Structures are given as C-alpha cells and as structure tokens.
Chains A and B, each alone.
Chain A
C-alpha cells in the first residue's frame, strides 16, 4: 500500500521568509502528485499538481513544487511567504494503477506566518 510522509507537522516563520515543505511517498509505480491547502475556515483547495512532463510545477499564489522521482519526493516551495499563507498544507498521491482515482494524503503541515 502506498503511503505519504510530510516531515514537518508545524512550521512557524516570519513574512518574507522562504518556505519549503517536504513530502515523500512510497510507491514504485507511476503516480500523480498534488498539494492541497486548507486556509482557516475554508474548503480544501488544489494548490498545484504534477502528472507528467517538467518536474518543476508552478501553482497558485506563487507556490511551486519539484518532483524528484529518484527520491520519491514532491517538495513544496515558496520564495517569500505572506501572512495570508497561514494554512494547513497536504501532499497527496494517486497511484495510477489504483482503482477509483484514490488519493493518499500525508498528515499535513500547519504553517503559521507571523506578520
């Protein structure tokens, strides 16, 4: 069975600092990769996704993620965070051979950006 690990449960940083959130998955086959974000009081929404092609993908609000196949990683980055980036971030993986387009989620990382 596939699993997804997010290394940091909580991250606290100041505005303008750079952010990197780690995500590793365990599955040997072809995968689709996602980062979702849950802002306080809001729906879970898609931040970015990787299906194929350029391993560096850009998402909304200045976020990007890099897929490194050899490391089974899909880390999320933002060069300069804002207070409005305070949220919980979830990495998710869809194994293409799995039935039902099921997603396996990591445990989430709560990010607090201090103004």
Chain B
C-alpha cells in the first residue's frame, strides 16, 4: 500500500527538549511538506522540500528545523526555541507541479509538558 506514515501518533516531551517527528512516504513523490494544525487556525506551513537536499521555510518556520537526505523521508525537529510547540503536526507529499493534490499522513500530536 502506498502512503505516508508518521510516527509516533502521540508524543510527550518536557519543555526545553528538542524532539524529532518522523515522516516517510513510499509514493515516490518529489515534494514533501510539514504543517501545523491548531484549532480554528487551519493548517499552517512550517517547511517544505521540493527535492532531496533542498528545503524552504514556510510561514511559521521559527523554532523548527528539517532535513531531506532521502526522497522518502522528511523529518521535522521541534526545537526548544519554539515557543508554543503543543500542536498536531501533519506531513504531506505531492508528485510535484502545480496540478497535483497533496496527500497527507495521519499526523503526530505533540504535547509539551
């Protein structure tokens, strides 16, 4: 089955700790994205990558970092500099180009205590 997997589903961390969220896709998609979902605010773009070894900041990149060493993987690190990290994080991918929909993973709910 082709799709996007995110792990873990739930994640708890203490304030001040960095945490890395996993995102893997086997759709052979070129582009991958990280969004943050908060109630009433929809999805906001954190980072995106159109090709391996290249990535761009989205609208709310502060306090986050990413890497794209492999086509199928796009991990997101939530650093201690992120002031309000508790949220639902969604990863997405697309084949690229303007006429392709984005496919989403199941999400990771991060709670910082």
Contacts and interface: CB of A to CB of B under 8 A. Distances in A.
- What bracket does the count of chain B residues touching chain A fall in? 20 to 34
Nearest to B102: A103
- What bracket does the count of chain A residues touching chain B fall in? 20 to 34
A29 to B, nearest CB: 12
Nearest to B41: A107
Given A9-B40, A43-B105, A108-B40, A103 B100 contact: no
A51 B99 contact: yes
Interface stretch (B14-22, B44-52, B65-73, B76-84): B44-52
A32 B100 CA distance: 10
B75 interface: no
B42 A90 contact: yes
A96 interface: yes
